[in-house]
Amino acid sequence: MGELGEMLREARERKGVSRAEVEEETKIRESLIKALEEQDYGVLPDRIYAKGLLKNYARYLGLDTSEVMRLFGEEELTPTPIPPASQA
């Protein structure tokens, strides 16, 4: 886990909430929160979507959104490859 993911996880833990509680309060799916904290950006549809989720999550956690977005900008997003359609 990198710097950004650790920052998110630690902020959530300091707030004393589980990922499930974050989902309930923010409507961000728990699986996406996990992906953000583990910096597993390949499960997210695209960079714009990831930025929106990250900004909302950072705001909820009380983090400096400018700093979070700066760190995110330094990350390399690798989309999950889509396998070719099978030819029957």
Domain CATH for 52: 1.10.260.40
Q: From CA 73, how far away is CA 25, in angstroms rounded?
A: 26
**Could you give the percent of the chain with pLDDT greater than 70?**
84
8 in a domain, yes or no?
yes
35 in a domain, yes or no?
yes
81 in a domain, yes or no?
no
Structurally, the chain folds into a number of domains equal to: 1
86 in a domain, yes or no?
no
CB < 8 Å & 24+ apart, contacts of 80-83 = 80/42, 80/43
Phi, psi for residue 79 in degrees, rounded to 5 = -65, 150
Note the pLDDT tens digit of each residue in 34-73: 999 999 988 888 888 889 999 999 999 999 999 999 999 8
Write out the residue range of the structural domain in which residue 51 sits: 3-74
83 in a domain, yes or no?
no
58 in a domain, yes or no?
yes
